[in-house]
Structure 1
């Protein structure tokens, strides 16, 4: 088995494309009308799917086989409450520099400060959300300031 793509069903297709182009520092790699866009990088593929395209353009999409509401109702998926059970995790060589880049981009109004957890070894990260409220976590090398994580 091989991973083909991770794709997010979104409410605002163009806003999501702009968000991920800025975050990933690359343009969309391929796009199918206003329905689907993908970003291919380092052997990975993250895609954006417009949850409204098929319903708004029934003449452009042919669907055959059993319709299952839970799997096939893209509008309902796009409009569903985000339960935050999915996290996109990325790493950067310099965590502090990457967080500052995200701040400068102004792409999210929900942005955490750098955090720390240790269960096997120290792990530094920060989180923010995309336009649909999906959590994005960035981890990487970080040298805490003296006393930063002291209790």
Structure 2
């Protein structure tokens, strides 16, 4: 088994592509019309799928095989409530610098402070949301200020 791609079904394709280009500091690696865009990381992909494309362009998509509403109705999927059961985790060498960079970009209405959790080893992270409300967690090296996370 090998990871092909993780893809997010989005409401506003162009807005999501711009968001991820800024967040990831890279351009789209490949794109299929306004339907699908990929960001490639050493053979692994995060992809953006336009949840409305197929319904708006039925002449551009040929489907064969069983139609399963739960999997194949992309409009219903993109319009469903986001339950936050999916978290996209990214890491960086310098957590504080990355959080400052993302704050400067002003690309998310939700951006947390740096947090700490320890269940096996110390773990520092912050979170933000993409245009569809998907949670992104960014982890990395961090040296807390004196007393910052004291109990």
Q: Which whole-Å CA distance do the structure 1 matches of 2:40 and 2:98 have between them? A: 20
Q: Which whole-Å CA distance do the structure 1 matches of 2:54 and 2:5 have between them? A: 20
What does residue 129 of structure 2 align with?
129
What does residue 19 of structure 1 align with?
19
Q: Which whole-Å CA distance do the structure 2 matches of 1:40 and 1:116 have between them? A: 29
Q: Which whole-Å CA distance do the structure 1 matches of 2:119 and 2:66 have between them? A: 46
What does residue 76 of structure 1 align with?
76
Q: Which whole-Å CA distance do the structure 2 matches of 1:44 and 1:89 have between them? A: 13
Q: Which whole-Å CA distance do the structure 2 matches of 1:56 and 1:102 have between them? A: 33
Q: Which whole-Å CA distance do the structure 2 matches of 1:12 and 1:45 have between them? A: 20
Q: Which whole-Å CA distance do the structure 1 matches of 2:121 and 2:49 have between them? A: 37
Q: Which runs of 5+ in 2 are unaligned?
A: none
What does residue 149 of structure 2 align with?
149
Show the 5 A alignment for 1:26-65: 26-65=26-65
* Deviation beyond 6 Å, 4+ runs, structure 1: none
RMSD, matched Cα = 0.6
Q: Which whole-Å CA distance do the structure 1 matches of 2:43 and 2:124 have between them? A: 24
TM-score (normalizing by structure 2): 0.98
What does residue 99 of structure 2 align with?
99
Question: Secondary structure of the equivalent of 2:2?
Answer: coil
Q: Which whole-Å CA distance do the structure 2 matches of 1:45 and 1:22 have between them? A: 16
Question: Secondary structure of the equivalent of 1:65?
Answer: coil
TM-score (normalizing by structure 1): 0.98
